[in-house]
C-alpha cells in the first residue's frame, strides 16, 4: 500500500496558503502568504495539497504524534506515566495536575485550532472552484472527495476540542484580518450539531474504502460513519459541563445510542471492513508500516517509505517496551507503563494478552530481558514494540509509526454497546458484534440470557482488552461516569499488590475538574469572553 506523500514541497505550499501565525493567539491567527487563497484553489492538485495540510496538523508531536495519542489518555487503571513527581509538563498532564501555563497544553490547543482554520479554508474554497461544477466527471468526483475529507477532519478535530476542553468556541469560516477575535464559548448542542453535520456530510461525500487508493491514511465513508458513531456515544454519555461545573448527561441520551447503532450497522453491513484473523498481526502491520484499511479504518499517517518522514512521531517510544539507545531499530524510553494487574485480568487463553503488555526491555543486541517481580511497574504497552520493526531507525528517538485512530473492532464493540442500551438488554446484533471480537481473541462466546447490566459489564471489559492503549480508555471512563472511582480502585488494588507500587492518579484526580484540561492562560488573558474551565 502506497503511503500518503507528505513531500516537503507540497507541505511548503500548503503551509504558505492556509497556515496561520503560530506565535499569535490561536483564535487570532492571520494568514501569512504570498499565495492568496483566492488564486490558489484553481486545480484538483491544489485542492488536494490544501486537504493534505489538514491531515498534517494531526501528525504533529503536539497532536497524535505524542500528546493526543499518549499524554491525554494517561493515567488510567491500565496505564500511567512513569514517575510520581510533577516536575515536567508530561507528568503534570498525565497525573491530573495540568495548569493553564503549561506549554504542551498551549501547543496542542493551538495546533488543533490551526487544523480547524485549514479545514474551514478548504470547505469554503472547494465549492467556489469552477471545476467543482464545470470540471470533468473525474475532477468533480475528486473535489467532492476532498471536500468530504475536510469535513471529516473538521468534525474529528472539533470532537477532540470538545472532549478535551469542553464547550469551546465554534468557528466555521477561515480567519480574516477583520474578524472579531473576542469569541465566546458555544453551547454543547451547537458544537455537537456542527460535528454531526460535518460527519454526516462527510459520509455522503466520501467513497467506501475499496474506492480510496490511500484508504486507511485518508478518510473513507466507513471512517466517517465509525467516527460519527464514536461521537454519538460520547454525546449520549456523561461529560463535565463547564457552564454548570458538574458532570451530567443529556436527558435524551438514548437517541444518540440509537444513532450510533444505525451508523455502526451501516459499516458492518457494507462488507467493506473486517477483522484481521490475527490480533498480533494488526500491530505487527503498524510496526512494519503496512496499512490495512479493512480493519484499520483510519490512521494518522506519519511516514512513507518513498518520501521519508514528514511529521515524526514517537509512537512506540513513549508507549512501548524500553529499548537501548544503540538498538538498530531505535531507542524507546517507555515513559508510559502498563500495570501488572491489567495483564493479569486477561484469561490465559486470550490471544491478546501477550500482545497488549510486555514484561521485558530490549537490549542493544535485541535480547529481551525480563524485569524482576519487584520491577513490574516497568511493564509496558506491547502493541508498538521496537523489535517488531523491519528497518533500521532513521532517527533513533522517533518511530514514524502511524497512529491508529479507528479500528473495525471498535465499530463492532460500539454496535454491541449501543444495541444493549437502546433495547434495555442485548439483542442478537449485540451478541454477534461482541462475539466476533471475542472469537478472534480465542475466547468463547458470551453466555446467552445476560441482563442489560451484565452485558454492559462484559462490554466494558471487552473494550479495555481489545482497545487498550489506543487512546480511548480515559474517554470511555468519562462517558460512563466512572473515571474517578476507577482511578481510586486501581490505586488501592496496586497498593495491595505491592505496598510501594508507584501510582498516584487516585490521589491526584479531582472530580468535576480533571476530566478536562485547562484553557491555555494566554488565551484567557487575551480574550475577555473566554472563561476558564472549572476550578483551574
For residue 329, give the nearest of 383, 390, 401 by alpha carbon. 390
pLDDT at res. 177: 77
Which range among 19-28, 189-198, 372-381 has the greatest average pLDDT? 189-198
Quote the percentage of the chain above a pLDDT of 70.
91
Residue 11 banded pLDDT, cuts 50, 70, 90: very low
Rounded average pLDDT over 165-179: 91
**Within a domain: 52:** yes
Instruction: Mark 60-70 as b/e (b = at least 16 C-beta within 10 Å).
Output: bbbbbbbbbbb
Q: Is residue 466 part of a domain?
A: yes
Classify residue 368: in a domain, yes or no. no
Instruction: State how many domains the chain has.
Output: 1
Which residues face 368 on adjacent strands? 362
> CA 252 to CA 236: how far, in whole Å?
8
| pLDDT bucket at 393, cuts 50 / 70 / 90 | confident
User: How high is the pLDDT of residue 29?
Assistant: 45
Please write the tens of the pLDDT for every residue from 316-330: 999 999 999 999 999
User: How far apart, in whole angstroms, are the C-alpha atoms of residue 399 and residue 386?
Assistant: 8
43's grid cell: 486545480
3-state helix, strand, coil in the chain (%, to 5): 50, 10, 45
Radius of gyration for the chain, computed over Cα atoms and rounded to the nearest angstrom:
22
DSSP state string for 48-77: HHHHHHHHHHHTSTTTTTTIIIIITT-SSS
Convert the pLDDT of each residue in 116-144 to its tens digit.
999 999 999 999 999 999 999 999 999 99
Q: Identify the band that residue 27 occupies on the pLDDT scale cut at 50, 70 and 90.
A: low
Query: What is the pLDDT, as a whole number, of residue 36?
Result: 62
What distance in Å separates the CA atoms of residue 466 and residue 353, rounded to the nearest whole number? 10
Domain span at 84:
1-274+405-421+429-438+454-536
The answer to whether residue 359 is domain-embedded is no
What is the structure's pLDDT at 168?
Answer: 98
Q: What is the pLDDT of residue 303?
A: 62
pLDDT value at 493 more than 60: yes
Q: End-to-end distance of the chain based on CA atoms, in angstroms?
A: 46
**pLDDT band for position 6 (50/70/90)?**
very low
Q: Is residue 462 one of the residues assigned to a domain?
A: yes
Q: What integer pLDDT is reported at residue 37 of this predicted model?
A: 66
Instruction: Name the band, by pLDDT with cuts 50, 70 and 90, for residue 244.
Output: very high
The CATH number for 512's domain is 1.25.40.390
425-464 per-position pLDDT tens digit: 999 999 999 999 999 999 999 999 999 999 999 999 999 9
Asked if the model's pLDDT at residue 34 lies above 80, the reply is no
Spatial separation of the C-alpha atoms in residues 72 and 447, rounded to whole Å:
35
DSSP 8-class letter at 27: G
In a domain, 148, yes or no: yes
In a domain, 173, yes or no: yes
Region 322-345: mean pLDDT is: 95
Q: Is residue 491 part of a domain?
A: yes
pLDDT at 233: 99
- Cβ atoms of 122 and 150 within 8 Å: the answer is yes
pLDDT at 310: 44
Give per-residue pLDDT as tens, 400-423.
899 999 999 999 999 999 999 999
Q: Three-state SS for 402?
A: coil
Q: What is the pLDDT of residue 480?
A: 99
Q: How confident is the model at residue 1, as a pLDDT?
A: 39
Closest residue by Cα to residue 3 from 423, 387, 419, 288? 288
- Please tell me the least confidently modeled range out of 20-29, 330-339, 394-403: 20-29
136-144 long-range Cβ contacts below 8 angstroms, 24+ apart: 139/44, 142/44, 142/47, 142/48, 143/44, 143/47, 144/205
More confident residue, 307 or 134: 134
Residue 394 confidence (pLDDT): 80
Q: How sure is the predictor about 4, in pLDDT bands with cuts at 50, 70 and 90?
A: low
Average pLDDT over residues 92-97: 97
**Residue entry with cell 479495555:** 464
Q: How far apart are CA 382 and CA 351, in angstroms?
A: 13
- Locate 167 and state its grid cell: 464547550
When the pLDDT of each residue in the chain is averaged and rounded to a whole number, the result is 92
pLDDT tens for 252-305 read 999 999 999 999 999 999 999 999 999 999 999 999 999 999 999 999 998 644
Give pLDDT, residue 396: 85
Q: pLDDT of 201-239, one tens digit each?
A: 999 999 999 999 999 999 999 999 999 999 999 999 999
Q: What is the pLDDT of residue 105?
A: 98
Amino acid at each position: 500500500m502506497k503511503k500518503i506523500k507528505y513531500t516537503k514541497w507540497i507541505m511548503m505550499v500548503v503551509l504558505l496558503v492556509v497556515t496561520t501565525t503560530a506565535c499569535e493567539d490561536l483564535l487570532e491567527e492571520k494568514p501569512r502568504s504570498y499565495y492568496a487563497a483566492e488564486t490558489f484553489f484553481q486545480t484538483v492538485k491544489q485542492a488536494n495539497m490544501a486537504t493534505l495540510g489538514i491531515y498534517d496538523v494531526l501528525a504533529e508531536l503536539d497532536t497524535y504524534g505524542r500528546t493526543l495519542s499518549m499524554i491525554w489518555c494517561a493515567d488510567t487503571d491500565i496505564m500511567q506515566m512513569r514517575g510520581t513527581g510533577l516536575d515536567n509538563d508530561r507528568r503534570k498532564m498525565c497525573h491530573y495536575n495540568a495548569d493553564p501555563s503549561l506549554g504542551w497544553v498551549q501547543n496542542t490547543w493551538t495546533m488543533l485550532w490551526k487544523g480547524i482554520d485549514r479545514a474551514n479554508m478548504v470547505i469554503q474554497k472547494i465549492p467556489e472552484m469552477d471545476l467543482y461544477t464545470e470540471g470533468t466527471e473525474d475532477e468533480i468526483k475528486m473535489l467532492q472527495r476532498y471536500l468530504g475529507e475536510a469535513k471529516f477532519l473538521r468534525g474529528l478535530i472539533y470532537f477532540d476540542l470538545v472532549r478535551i476542553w469542553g464547550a469551546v468556541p465554534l468557528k466555521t469560516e477561515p480567519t480574516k484580518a477583520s474578524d472579531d477575535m473576542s469569541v465566546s464559548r458555544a453551547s454543547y448542542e451547537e458544537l455537537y450539531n456542527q460535528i454531526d453535520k460535518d460527519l454526516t456530510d462527510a459520509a455522503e461525500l466520501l467513497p467506501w474504502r475499496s474506492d480510496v487508493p490511500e484508504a486507511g491514511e485518508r478518510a473513507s465513508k466507513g471512517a466517517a460513519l465509525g467516527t460519527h458513531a464514536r461521537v454519538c456515544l460520547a454525546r449520549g454519555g456523561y461529560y463535565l459541563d463547564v457552564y454548570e461545573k458538574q458532570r451530567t448527561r443529556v436527558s435524551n441520551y438514548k437517541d444518540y445510542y440509537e444513532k450510533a447503532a444505525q451508523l455502526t450497522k451501516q459499516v458492518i453491513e457494507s462488507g467493506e471492513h473486517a477483522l484481521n484473523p490475527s490480533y498480533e498481526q494488526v500491530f505487527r502491520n503498524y510496526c512494519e508500516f503496512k496499512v490495512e484499511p479493512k480493519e484499520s479504518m483510519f490512521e494518522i499517517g506519519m511516514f512513507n517509505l518513498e518520501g521519508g518522514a514528514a511529521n515524526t512521531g514517537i509512537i512506540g517510544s513513549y508507549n512501548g517496551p524500553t529499548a537501548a539507545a544503540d538498538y538498530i531499530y531505535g531507542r524507546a524510553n517507555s515513559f508510559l507503563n502498563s500495570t501488572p494487574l491489567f495483564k493479569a485480568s486477561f484469561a490465559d487463553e486470550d490471544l491478546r494478552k501477550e500482545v497488549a503488555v510486555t514484561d521485558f526491555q530490549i537490549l542493544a543486541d535485541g535480547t529481551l530481558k525480563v524485569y524482576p517481580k519487584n520491577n513490574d511497574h516497568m511493564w509496558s504497552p506491547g502493541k508498538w514494540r521496537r523489535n517488531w520493526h523491519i528497518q533500521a531507525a532513521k532517527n533513533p528517538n522517533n518511530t514514524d509509526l502511524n497512529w491508529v485512530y479507528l479500528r473495525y473492532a471498535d465499530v463492532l464493540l460500539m454496535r454491541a454497546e449501543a444495541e444493549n442500551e437502546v433495547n434495555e438488554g442485548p439483542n442478537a446484533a449485540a451478541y454477534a458484534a461482541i462475539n466476533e471480537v471475542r472469537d478472534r481473541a480465542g475466547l468463547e462466546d458470551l453466555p446467552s440470557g445476560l441482563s442489560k447490566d451484565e452485558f454492559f459489564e462484559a462490554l466494558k471489559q471487552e473494550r479495555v482488552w481489545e482497545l487498550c492503549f489506543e487512546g480511548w480508555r480515559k474517554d470511555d471512563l468519562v462517558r460512563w461516569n466512572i473515571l474517578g472511582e476507577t482511578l481510586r480502585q486501581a490505586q488501592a488494588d496496586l497498593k495491595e499488590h505491592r505496598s510501594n507500587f508507584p501510582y498516584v492518579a487516585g490521589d491526584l484526580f479531582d472530580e468535576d475538574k480533571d476530566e478536562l484540561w485547562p484553557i491555555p492562560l494566554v488565551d484567557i488573558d487575551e480574550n475577555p469572553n473566554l472563561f476558564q474551565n472549572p476550578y483551574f
